[in-house]
Structure 1
Amino acid sequence: MRKFFHVFSFYFRESFLSKKSLITSGILFLVVFGIFAFNHFTSDKDKNKDKDKLAIVMDSATYIVQEEGLNKILPSAQIRIEKKEQLEKLHKQVEEGKLDGLFYVKEKNGVPEVTYMYNGFSSQETSTIIANYLKQQYTQVILSKHKVPSDVAQQLQTDISVKEEAIKDRASSFGIAYVFIFVLYMFIIAFGNTIAMNIASEKSSRVMEIMLSKVKPLYMMYAKILAVVTTALLQIAILACGVLVPVLIGWVDLDNASLFGLPIDFAKLDVKVISLFIVFFITGYLLYAMMYAAAGAVVSKTEDLQSVSFPVAILIMAAFFISIKSLSDPNSTIVVISSYVPFFTPMVTFSRVVAGEAGALEISIALSLLLATIFFLNFIASRIYVNGVMSYSDKVKFKDLAKFIKRH
């Protein structure tokens, strides 16, 4: 066991305490910290910058638009009322991108007719609000024309309020689940490739032959895997510090937090979610790390590694895309079935946990299948690793893998 810890400490120093790794860790912290710092220092300055710039031209004697009142009911935009003579000039400003939209209102048989001019993408919310604003005036004109009593007219124009009550609020869980899934995906890809590349490099440089005379092959494989997973967890902790420091300073509004437009509900970060993330991260990493270790052991040249590890990368990408689908539709057939497929379980089941759709029984079954698969892959990968690290054939075929697995 002493030899194992010596090998583990060697690989850990190489993977985390090296100059390159420490610089990477520092950059990860600064990038995350910098994103929140940028959002904090620019949010107030850019409050009006993000508003749509709109102009309204009225060509009607009957209907009147109040600029102040319209800006109140449409706070996401800066609206100004312009004269009819400015229509051509304003049209050109929309074309040049100086204005986000232009509304031209005229009458046709006493009914307001609105033309919405824009360059690029329209805003359905804005056009609907302005149309409703004019519709209220039109309703008032018709009621006055037919001499409807004022109290009746007022009742007819009463707004119907809609009270939203989410049975399961998917929007609040989307952001936090996406961030965790993306982190899991990126770290498995990055550190899995690190394992495969290191093994392939040691093998191609013949360093492996020297090391095998001192240490058992399995010690080397497990020490490398554990060293890299420890490094990955430490770097996730560094990323978490990049979020925690701005929160403690007060730069993050926990009630209205978002990242790249995705709402992040920190209330979802309870003990259950954090614990399951750590469990799924470690088990998911171990699952793919063993496959990457086997891939690195069977190649004799590092340039051959990509083609051998390609099927593993396909599995990870499939898991990522299915988990993204589960964020919006966690009960679809493909998502539910995939949550029990061990290669997809870490990402897909975790996303369903955050969405509140995975119960204790489903989590237990999925984890049991995942652990059983890890133990099975442990047997396969260890055989391939032990027999593959000393094989220097140009190309390894499937029949060669079968021989490695059968050979003791």
Structure 2
Amino acid sequence: MIKRAVYLIILVLIHLVYGVTWLSLLKLSLGIILVFYIAVPLIYHFYPTVPRHLVFLPFLRWPRGISFTQPELSGLRAARNFYVTTSDGVRLGVWHILPEQEIDRVSNGDGEPDSTVFESRLSSGAPIIFYNHGNSGSRAGPHRVELYKVLRKIGYHVVCFDYRSYADSSQVIPSETGVVSDSRFMYKWLRQRAGRSPIIVWGHSLGTGVTSHMVADLCVEGDRPTALVLESPFNNIQEEVRLHKLASLYRKMPGFHWLFLKPLRDNDMMFESDRHIANVTVPVMIMHAEDDLIIPYSLAVKLHRAALRHHPADRIEFHTFEAQYHYGHKYICRSPRLPGLVRDFVEKSIHWHNKQ
């Protein structure tokens, strides 16, 4: 009702200020309705490229001018860039960031670590954070780099990568199956080199949908990691799309589900974390900011409730970051609470894992 009133006021102002006739304004209104309420929904529904690009946003390559081969230019000293090729021929760009206590031990004399020893240090016993980012950008996103620095300061290795279609990875059309396969390949690569070092899988935003699916599959197969961290998660992508700000234009339209939600299932983009979490048999930590404008806090609450339906409460942690701190969707990494929360969760998860 408010939107309609605002639109009418705008039309009246155009008529009064610019002298546009009511007939012309009617034609303009009909044109807007035709484009926004008929053409756009039909294009979204019948052209799979459109919802795929809106879910994954691989074309938003920020920041510009990143040299992925030189992570030190992104402020990450003692970090290695390399590439792996998956079983289906997709090349993935990867960074391995050493924990602070490892830097001096592997220095080659000029202050930078010798790349030949990076893989060997993965089995040193220090926990490994396997980070899966959200949509848009790359592993070099500024808020992601902030988080890597927090984690390495705690004493953890950080291994992060770009899915297919992102950054300097192969430009292959993404899908849920595809990005979960990429994450799974990287996990297996890590597992082969980690020895007895704990691996904590960490997903942010869309990456929580990737990691929930991937870790559930690993648990079913008996190759589970030490723990799973879900930062700013949704419960499933259909609810996230339905509650998204852009969807408010169409939410009350007849056929909204068929027009906007059905293409997600038809084109392999469901990301049903609330279903997959039933098979996640490792400790889980969920973190969400109340003022998240991208993924509503309520969806994290729903995911937490889904987890509690299948797992004991002492294995599922939920941490709220109050709106007064303005962390939003990306900046929980700036909370002074975060290092302690992560350290305690990782230690408890290692203890739980060792008892199994």
TM range (shorter): under 0.3
Question: Per chain length, whose mean CA-contact separation is higher, i.e. which structure has more relative contact order (CA < 8 Å, sep 6+)?
Answer: 1
Task: Looking at secondary structure, tell me which structure has more helix per residue.
Answer: 1
Bigger radius of gyration, 1 or 2?
Answer: 1
- Structure 2 length normalisation: TM-score? 0.27
